[in-house]
Amino acid sequence: MSFRHLLRIDWDVIAGIIAAIVAMLLSFMGLVSQTVGLGIILLLCALLLTRDLRGEYREQRMFDKLDLIKRNVSSLTAANQSDIHLIGPKRMRQEFAAFASVTCGEIRWYNACCRMFRRQEVFDATLRTFLDNPHVTSIYLLCRPEERRFWESDVLPKLRQCEHGPKVHEPLWGPIRGTVSFVLGDVDGDGRNEALLTILDEPFATYSQQGPTVPRFVFRVCSQSELMVPLEDVIRNATSEFRSDADAGQ
């Protein structure tokens, strides 16, 4: 038996048990009175109980310290994680598919470029990924008025051929300034929105005389990002404004 193994043995307990047995033998042999023997045994039990209670207290303090260290490490890890991730061309399809697979409820696409969906492979890699998710209930596009002809000539026919095409509502049309476009959705059904954001201009998207054809880079904006609140405000304000304009035009 190695010395390290001997150190693992709880010698205090063994000594207490031996002392209790000796006290019982002395009491039975009449060398000490039963009262003295019983007192010795009770004293040993009290000492062992006190030792165990102190050991449990030390263990609890150790667990509390470990829990505090774990929380601090988790906080540091979360602080070091980027709130926004840049996704390059090689991972575009995988990122759209991954984002679409964890979203649920309503999806809102601000500054959706309908002319991008003219190419079937782009339509399949972007908008259709949300259609195929059974947890996505509806998709709202917010588009510029000049995208209407591409919606009617290119997007609608593709949606009619999709089983879940009716999820996509008639777009809300209105003036949109800038080239920022993003898809906003609830991730994992816990009320936290995340977004895929791109800029419809070079070098973030390929561009032709007819306009942007396909995004080349996207940003994955996580729910804890400070950018998320402004994006949600943009969606909310644009939706309200475009609906008001549509109602006034009827």
For 150-192, how does the pLDDT look when each residue is reduced to its tens digit (9 = 90+)?
A: 999 999 999 999 999 999 999 999 999 888 999 999 987 878 8
- Both tokens assigned to 192: 């936290």
Q: What pLDDT sits at residue 76?
A: 43
Q: What pLDDT sits at residue 12?
A: 62
Rounded to two decimals, the pTM is: 0.65
- How far apart are alpha carbons 228 and 122 in whole angstroms? 26
- How far apart are alpha carbons 135 and 155 in whole angstroms? 22
Peptide bond into 171 cis (omega under 30): no
- Selected from 3.40.50.850, 3.30.870.10, 1.10.3470.10, 2.40.110.10, the CATH number assigned to the domain covering 84-249 reads 3.30.870.10
Strand partners, 142: 110, 172
Please list the residue range(s) of the chain that carry CATH number 3.30.870.10: 84-249
Q: What pLDDT sits at residue 188?
A: 76
- Are the CB atoms for 165 and 131 separated by under 8 Å? yes
- How far apart are alpha carbons 184 and 173 in whole angstroms? 18
> For the segment 56-108, what is each residue's pLDDT rounded down to a tens digit?
666 677 667 666 656 655 554 454 456 888 888 888 888 888 999 999 999 99
Mean pLDDT (whole number) for 222-249 = 86
Residue 27: C-alpha distances to residues 38, 47, 224, 243 (Å): 8, 20, 72, 96
Long-range contacts of residues 207-215, Cβ cutoff 8 Å, at least 24 apart: 210/115, 211/113, 211/115, 212/113, 212/115, 212/116, 213/115, 213/116, 213/119, 213/122, 214/116, 214/119, 214/122, 215/92, 215/116, 215/181
- Both tokens assigned to 83: 């709130």
